[in-house]
Amino acid sequence: MSVLLQISDAHFGTEQVSVVEALVALSQQQRPDVLVLSGDITQRARACQFRAARALINRLGKTVLAIPGNHDIPLFNIGARLLHPYAQHCEAFGDELEPVHASPELLVLCINTTRWYRHKNGEVSPAQIDRVSKRLASAEPGQLRVVVVHHPVAVLRAIDVQNLLRGHAAALQRWAAAGADLVLGGHIHLPYVIALPDLARPMWAVQAGTAVSSRVRDGVPNSVNLLRWGSDAPAGRCLIERWDYAAASQAFVRTAVNDVQPARTGKPTDAD
């Protein structure tokens, strides 16, 4: 079995201690194989905020894949934003801004969708689309194929259209043809799972809420996602679990499960 824990929009600097402790307890209980931090790890990209985030990850003690979000680039320090926008992120999580995890059951490909010249919005370049497509096309049959971005590739509400990842339409077409199953994102602090239409094969957008920050949206509680694939999930299916923080019990509780069936017929192609 493979279990992936998605932690997004933690915004360290605005974290809540009780929620952080509940997240540690959840990880110890569920024992995920891989942790994915899908951006906005900090509130203002300060060294102390990255250190606090790294301290949490050290307590979780698992393989971690971390990508920056727009909040993880200095906002007010213009020199740092222009010359070394990812210096603090790399100090905390290593030099690889687009980490990859491959195991017999999982292929996780991370993409840096931030840009120093964009304050809030993200984009994916043709080179990034191509690189991910080629790697997806070489995946093993038993691997769940997961792409991780910060900015959403699909939204539920008109107000969020402005937050869509620039270049997402072309990316989804290529990645679906190459065999992707899921695209994980964050940024808008709203958790949901959407089946993506009009693609070469089934693919889902999996959005995470804010993990531990006080910056919750529209009364939606802090939440994280757990993905299950393999021996403890139904054969050929992926369970996508949403775990919400319950203030009354000071613990994360499972509140929703999406049961999806990735396609495993036909040969993926790296189609242009």
37-51, 74-88, 176-190: which has the minimum mean pLDDT?
Answer: 74-88
Q: How confident is the model at residue 70 (pLDDT cuts 50, 70, 90)?
A: very high
Instruction: Give me the pLDDT at residue 79, please.
Output: 74
- C-alpha 232/C-alpha 41 separation (Å) is 30
Instruction: Tell which residue, 253, 113, 241, has the closest CA to residue 187.
Output: 113
Instruction: Give me the pLDDT at residue 99, please.
Output: 98
Instruction: Give me the pLDDT at residue 62, please.
Output: 80
pTM assigned to the model: 0.95
| Mean pLDDT calculated for residue range 31-41 | 97
What does the angle CA 49 – CA 54 – CA 55 come to, to the nearest 5 degrees?
95
Has residue 269 got a pLDDT over 70?
no
pLDDT tens digits, 92-118: 999 999 999 999 999 999 999 999 888
Burial class (CB in 10 A: 0-12, 13-18, 19+), 208: buried
Instruction: Give me the pLDDT at residue 55, please.
Output: 96
Instruction: Tell which residue, 83, 82, 85, has the closest CA to residue 97.
Output: 85
Instruction: Give me the pLDDT at residue 246, please.
Output: 98
15-19, 77-81, 93-97: which has the minimum mean pLDDT?
Answer: 77-81
Q: How confident is the model at residue 78 (pLDDT cuts 50, 70, 90)?
A: confident
Cβ contacts of 107 within 8 Å, gap of 6 or more: 100, 101, 135, 136, 139, 140, 143, 144, 145, 146
| Mean pLDDT calculated for residue range 130-155 | 97
| Mean pLDDT calculated for residue range 59-73 | 93
Instruction: Give me the pLDDT at residue 222, please.
Output: 98
Higher pLDDT, 232 or 72: 72
Mean residue pLDDT across the chain: 94
Instruction: Give me the pLDDT at residue 270, please.
Output: 63
